[in-house]
Amino acid sequence: ATQILTPRRYEDRKDDLWSVFNRIQENLSKGGLPGRTAKGKRTHTRAVNGIDGDVRLNRALWVMAEQMQQALS
């Protein structure tokens, strides 16, 4: 889970909601994050290549960001 929050660039290290949202969006869209399968084998996440998957991912992230903003307000 911490890999999703890890910035890929030095400039993306800010911790405001918008920067974290963009960081998560980029990491999930590009893939390449290390992980393990159900059997314990090492693997990497795959990039989101299709438009449908990209739209669904962005919509879900936006809803979560709005809920987080309301919780922090």
Can you give the pLDDT of all 73 residues of the chain as single tens digits? Answer: 788 999 999 988 999 988 999 999 999 999 999 989 999 999 999 999 999 999 999 999 999 999 999 998 8
Buried b (16+ CB within 10 A) or exposed e, 57-68: eeeebeeebeee
Residue 27 sits in which domain range? 2-72
Q: How many domains does the chain have?
A: 1
